[in-house]
Structure 1
């Protein structure tokens, strides 16, 4: 079989795949983590000898799930007994749907609301708060095994945030709705109070892969740990990640220690590592090694390890000069260094910095294409049903896209079921066939989507207006999308309303990428240009353990670059009130390094 042909694997990767028991794998940047996980999952699928057995792969994002499933299919392995997706999707499909009746809050049914619906409710409740004023940004929260933790760090706001959240929870409970954090809470409580559920799941899943463990929440560890423990060795795991890239602490994510995870699952666990970096030059690796909090071993192993990388640091350019300097760096890398535009990334800590900057760079450099947050012409709420369906509407029915589109079709069918639609007559393939048969004539993007959605549901004989979640999400998608398109057109980008611009959203990147630090985790580029590297932004002023958090963010930025790295801590970014301007983030300010000019 193709999976048995592992000539492309190194000794560390092969050892992790061949290990018969459970593995805790620490993988440095560029070490082939996804390749190793892919081969391991494929190998476990080949071992299945019963149609009742499954392999699960828990990923941090839907995009990662798409990529891994596509790679496994590319190895020629049957994925019919593979379940792959996020922990929220796993808990919904395998715990809440079949066993929700065992929880008093779910026994009469439930509906999952997406992030937009949640924000609408919270925004209305926050409007009642005065002195201090509370916004939806203050209302982030997550559950642990035993408590609810707030994202808000402003002491004067916390009582109001607690009151607003209790009202919010009350409204959800009254309408039998749950949000994404409650998916985890209820899944944990079902597993905790009904041990037989873990036992059943351990009999179904012979192997569970856990990707990006450093971003996993405590309650998620507990859910998956209970299933693995119930198997008493019959359910094995590969848990893989990089503790130096644990940058979602404000959302509850943390890198569990191997010993703690071993105690949680109650079975033998072998610690292993991937230490060979096949991405970056040795100079780049040495540089981001200055921010290596956990002291993990990283060896340069790429074909351009000896490349003469340029690493620059600019703390002189002012905020008003920033877009000109970014354009200069981009042009220098393309015209002098010979870097392809789609191998350049401009990165900053917050989306608010990037949307405006993307549009300014487009105006300043019309000869190049950009892929960034300021150019997405419709609402990018990844939890909205119609956003998910737009992926089918705007992508081509090609062999290369078949596996991804088949997976998206499955997600859409699951969402329809959650909304109360009878999907017994719809399969993933039949949904794709219906989708592929629709060709609206409209050249305006939103008109095209409206026509596609209407035709698809007519062909499926489904009146989506009869299902409140679908109708509300439909209204929200088009209202926010129309607002976004109108704003972009008014700001000098008339082309964004064209269907051609809409289609670009889901294509592989073709231009210069613009993203946040959190958004580029897992990506790689020849050149990375980072700005707003300022204390209070890197890390966010509300993050705990400020110095280590800042180091991890700098580690992520540096480790994305193959050849060149340009760092900017611009002057003149002001704070509210009488506070002094933002200064350079502490680990960058304290680092003594021989930068290039």
Structure 2
């Protein structure tokens, strides 16, 4: 309440389970109620689209008018508020541009890797930009080749007038830096800028937001929220800026506050993940499960070949013995490939349970693709519970049609949903089903997509990217991935056991968490510069997801190269704790 009612700018450090999302929701609602002009806007920057959707829905459920709220990721913010309105002022954008998705980027990198050296892979091409240049995430001996590859990649993008996700930030920063009137205008419109998960924000993103705040000359307030203990995106450029650093950058004076009570986990769970806390603040359990007799286990003896059976045993124990709902169980691993494989093994071993995970998603989450936006409406059923959400999605689809040059004067949110609800298809193949529904809906609306280059480009990217993803997954045994039932699960409420990476599970919570692959070189990753800090943060994130039970596994015998095997994470081995034996 103190943070919400604070009249000035706030820098809020929030421990896991402390009500951060609730605080953000009510802060946004309060700031919306304080607006005095219909020209003002509240802007909330979230790390994921999922977080933006959750916060927006919570505000709408409070009955608060969100017409003057903009909420989304920093990339969406830069596109909507900086690149599209002011592209004419940038030499690389003034003749038009097209944003490509992650699939397009990966495909381009794969092609360039083949021409720049057989020892390069798309995993070597990771990079991020700073205000002064760029950083490449690869082994030192590959830096020269990867740099040459990226230079060609960027030149190819310039030639074809394309922009990838990283360049969205670069061009937005350059426009903000070189055209001061943009910052001045935005600073006069935004009454409050809120930033969620500040510890995952990049330096170039801080620079963009800082310039806008500074140009407001004290008119715009800032509300910055996050947890430095969960800063696990360092390899992607994220870092936890200090209040003093951001104050200098933005010209804003902050009131520093913290949320240190955990309402999620038991006292035993909190006491355990405090072992990996790198801050001086003390976290206390104060929620429903604070006195729960949690089971915390650490297994460093199970062989990799017996890992599936051990995870099955732990799942059954938590669900069938402890009475925990399957939707409250999460399997966590450090990397997608072993997780996808494990998901398929668990599906076969536990046919009575449903799962959601990396091996079971037929198309990538590409929120900026028009057809992805439309698929959300087509793949969800009309129901009172989903009406507000689907209505918002319909608004985004109509905005996308406007952007594509389609006349939408006769289309309303209700008419779009009504037309979508009336479409049926007998196709059992998910992609074929979607394409048939796309055609039927556009026919019902009287729109010819062939007249819009943007719609055609987005369609080709969506279909091709989805088909390649399906082909890769079916090739490794996930034959059901192509079925329409799997497509519907992408946007359905999660009812089964969740399988996720450490990075993907951040922000979520479950009664039982089972984590495997806790091995030096994976947790932390071998490329991390400060391995001790990285290991602490990753373990902190994993352990703080659990409400009741926590099971950690450092399996034996996982190969590392041709002649070595992975060893358990050093920080985990060094942690002295009275672990439980699970019967």
Question: Is TM (by shorter chain) over 0.5?
Answer: yes
- Residues 269 and 548 in structure 2, CA contact (< 8 A), matched pair in contact too: yes
1:565 pairs with 2:550: yes
1:64 pairs with 2:44: no
Alpha-carbon distance in structure 1 between the residues aligned to 2:444 and 2:166: 35
Q: Secondary structure at the match of 2:559?
A: coil
1:380 CA displacement: 4.9
Alignment partner of 1:399 out of 377, 384, 402: 384
Specify every segment of 5 or more residues in structure 2 that has no aligned partner in the other structure, as ranges.
none
1:495 CA displacement: 4.5
Alpha-carbon distance in structure 1 between the residues aligned to 2:27 and 2:317: 41
1:218-297 residue pairs with structure 2 within 5 A? 218-297=203-282
Alignment partner of 1:446 out of 431, 434, 438: 431
CA-atom RMSD in angstroms = 2.0
1:193 pairs with 2:178: yes
1:327 CA displacement: 0.1
1:304-359 residue CA offsets vs partner (Å, 9 max, x unmatched): 21111000000000000000000000000111111111100000000111111101
Alpha-carbon distance in structure 1 between the residues aligned to 2:150 and 2:187: 35
Alignment partner of 1:584 out of 565, 568, 573: 568
Alignment partner of 2:63 out of 69, 76, 83: 76
Pick closer, same or farther for the CA change 1:312–1:297 going to 2, 3 Å: same
1:93 pairs with 2:93: no
Aligned to 1:125: 112
Aligned to 1:596: 580
Shifted more, 228-237 versus 516-525: the winner is 228-237
Alpha-carbon distance in structure 2 between the residues aligned to 1:389 and 1:273: 40
1:47 pairs with 2:34: yes
Alpha-carbon distance in structure 1 between the residues aligned to 2:339 and 2:366: 17
Aligned residues: 581
Alpha-carbon distance in structure 1 between the residues aligned to 2:27 and 2:83: 28
1:449 CA displacement: 0.7
Q: TM-score when scaled to structure 2? A: 0.95
1:383 CA displacement: 5.0
Alpha-carbon distance in structure 2 between the residues aligned to 1:484 and 1:28: 36
Alpha-carbon distance in structure 2 between the residues aligned to 1:34 and 1:213: 13
1:259-316 residue CA offsets vs partner (Å, 9 max, x unmatched): 1111111122100001110000011001000000123331110122111100000000
- Residues 377 and 420 in structure 2, CA contact (< 8 A), matched pair in contact too: yes
Q: Secondary structure at the match of 1:587?
A: helix
Q: Secondary structure at the match of 1:589?
A: helix
Q: Secondary structure at the match of 1:564?
A: strand
Aligned to 2:328: 343
Aligned to 2:155: 170
1:208-251 residue CA offsets vs partner (Å, 9 max, x unmatched): 11111010011111111111111222100110010000001111
Q: Secondary structure at the match of 2:217?
A: coil
Alpha-carbon distance in structure 1 between the residues aligned to 2:403 and 2:129: 23
Alpha-carbon distance in structure 1 between the residues aligned to 2:281 and 2:415: 48
Alpha-carbon distance in structure 2 between the residues aligned to 1:103 and 1:95: 11
Pick closer, same or farther for the CA change 1:493–1:190 going to 2, 3 Å: closer
Alignment partner of 2:443 out of 458, 461, 484: 458
1:192-212 residue CA offsets vs partner (Å, 9 max, x unmatched): 112221111111111111111
Specify every segment of 5 or more residues in structure 1 that has no aligned partner in the other structure, as ranges.
1-13
Shifted more, 372-381 versus 92-101: the winner is 372-381
1:4-32 residue CA offsets vs partner (Å, 9 max, x unmatched): xxxxxxxxxx0000100000000000000
Q: Secondary structure at the match of 2:116?
A: coil
Alpha-carbon distance in structure 1 between the residues aligned to 2:155 and 2:393: 33
Alpha-carbon distance in structure 1 between the residues aligned to 2:59 and 2:155: 43
Alignment partner of 2:393 out of 381, 395, 408: 408
